[in-house]
Structure 1
């Protein structure tokens, strides 16, 4: 096997579940997979952030400071039911995402898609999965929507949301992201029917939660019931 991260050849121990094709072959070598940090221990009930790694000044009870701030926003703070993520966003994952998103190594998405599928079945069974869209400008430049690729093999992108701005979220600080609340880049396609549906937004990274809440505003205004988000990293 060749590792999707470091590209070195590695050999995995044969196990019956893989020999019988009940499990997919391992896509990362042991050393690279150990660099991924699954979110474990006590989590923020709202955004999945590890509370164990935070000092008391940045948490209160079962929520982190970011989510407590959102809860104070009576206008949109309640729109997102919760976010669930797989991994902590560290330097290794940042580089892996850069290779995936900006250098076009899209096969990396298959590693995360399998894990996202299991998390979806565990936490959001019955919810309609919707990939957070890119603007047309960004989609043409990149050639793919990373959020859609994270759904490959377990869900079909419903393509119900439109994004009008092409600015990179990764280039914005918290203040700039929060300013977007007054300029919502998302809208709903005319033919979309989402009344009374529970929806889970799929994306690669939950940072401040601004993007998924902006999308949630549009979905709520058009009759959606519950709205949550499922991401690879927090």
Structure 2
């Protein structure tokens, strides 16, 4: 019998015709844990350089614990917890671009969390951006964020002229990271740049 990835409680195993045919969405956390996450359903249109921002969940205690276990305790299995929700919000006809992790941080963390969220959701993506520094946005004042150098540079040969690009990140705090990324993509010719984040702080 399977156990919840978050609390290790045994999951109820109730076979259905969908599960027998392999069509059922896999349950990996229990109902009690699932209820602790608070949906945000935030959709903002035309926010400065970003044409649209969608955030799926709010940053509450349950989400804080999830992020800590996933990112800092390196529990990569948790990348699949929100796979179904991400899959629904990422259209197949767009260019999906994860916000990259700086190579130094990736060595410490051992994996790029946004890449793994997309892999678990089965969503194809391309790396078009490279992070230029290791700054932490939450540690900067508003004035400091306004005077920052560009956080990203463009990489990769993919032409994005006249295309819709969707940036994906785990958490939206001030929006600075996403706006820096969107600016680079717009300057490279992207017609529209949207963003989908798992969490809104």
TM-score (norm 1): 0.77
Instruction: Determine if contact 2:95/2:125 at 8 Å carries over to the other structure.
Output: no
Is 1:183 aligned to 2:149, yes or no? yes
Deviation readout 1:1-41 (Å, 9 max, x if unpaired): 2111112222143333223221232111111001011225x
What is the SS of the residue equivalent to 2:32? helix
Is 1:106 aligned to 2:76, yes or no? yes
Aligned twin of 1:83: 53
Deviation readout 1:65-93 (Å, 9 max, x if unpaired): xxxxxx8xxxxx53101111221111101
Q: 1:28-39 to 2 correspondence within 5 Å?
A: 28-39=29-40
Aligned twin of 1:45: 44
Aligned twin of 1:216: 182
- Measured in 2, the distance between the counterparts of 1:157 and 1:219 equals 15
Deviation at 1:130, TM superposition (A): 0.4
Q: Which one of 118, 125, 148 corresponds to residue 157 of structure 1?
A: 125
Instruction: Determine if contact 1:163/1:187 at 8 Å carries over to the other structure.
Output: yes
- Measured in 1, the distance between the counterparts of 2:12 and 2:3 equals 9
- Measured in 2, the distance between the counterparts of 1:228 and 1:185 equals 18
- Measured in 1, the distance between the counterparts of 2:154 and 2:181 equals 9
Deviation readout 1:39-72 (Å, 9 max, x if unpaired): 25xx5534xxxxxxxxxxxxxxxxxxxxxxxx8x
Q: Which stretches of structure 1, 4 residues or longer, exceed 4 Å deviation after superposition?
A: none
Instruction: Determine if contact 2:165/2:190 at 8 Å carries over to the other structure.
Output: yes
CA RMSD in angstroms, aligned pairs only:
2.1
- Measured in 2, the distance between the counterparts of 1:86 and 1:146 equals 17
Aligned residues: 198
Q: Which one of 172, 189, 196 corresponds to residue 206 of structure 1?
A: 172
Q: 1:1-12 to 2 correspondence within 5 Å?
A: 1-12=2-13
TM-score (norm 2): 0.89
Instruction: Determine if contact 1:136/1:164 at 8 Å carries over to the other structure.
Output: no
Deviation at 1:208, TM superposition (A): 1.5
Greater fraction strand: 2
Deviation at 1:176, TM superposition (A): 6.5
Q: Which runs of 5+ in 2 are unaligned?
A: none
Instruction: Determine if contact 1:136/1:166 at 8 Å carries over to the other structure.
Output: no
Instruction: Determine if contact 1:174/1:208 at 8 Å carries over to the other structure.
Output: no
Instruction: Determine if contact 2:43/2:53 at 8 Å carries over to the other structure.
Output: no
Q: Which runs of 5+ in 1 are unaligned?
A: 47-70, 72-76
Instruction: Determine if contact 1:113/1:149 at 8 Å carries over to the other structure.
Output: no
